[in-house]
Structure 1
Amino acid sequence: MRMKEYSTKDIANIVGIATPTVRKYAQALEKAGYTFIKNDQGFRIFSDNDVQIFERIKEMSNDTGMPVDRIASMLVSEQKK
């Protein structure tokens, strides 16, 4: 079965955040060592797993007011376990 692929706009709509916020989260995750699939043009392609991570960042950011890069680091190290 093929993985469902989402664009930045899709993620923004699903998670309920603005497209620049999607980019901000993605950059924070990449800085923390997370890898996204990229298409031939070098644009990020998001998967269902990414959707969950974005939802968690939004949730934790709203609940704790923690900086996004700290949340991203926490989630990435959690995933590596």
Structure 2
Amino acid sequence: MAKGRPAAADLLVLAVGIGLLAWFARRQLRLRDPLLDVRLFRNRPFTAAALVTLMAVLAAGAALYLVSLWLQYVHGYSPFEAGLRTLP
């Protein structure tokens, strides 16, 4: 396999994920009382706020992951000790 090319299994997982997301959105559009009104995403400010919130949560998770690695590799803590030190 060429370097940088996705494997067939990766593409299959991506296709299944997109299919499940489309199925969920379609089902929510048809329900009388949906879990998530997907029509809200037509509103640009709502979509922008949702994406910014998603990016903030991903950044916080990445920072917490990197802090735990730093505690383990630089300070020599065990994974358990690093986890205890990163508890909120």
User: TM-score if structure 2 supplies the norm length?
Assistant: 0.27
For CA contacts below 8 A with separation 6 or more, give which structure has more relative contact order. 1
Of Structure 1 and Structure 2, the greater strand share is in: 1
Q: Which has the greater radius of gyration?
A: 2
Of Structure 1 and Structure 2, the greater helix share is in: 2
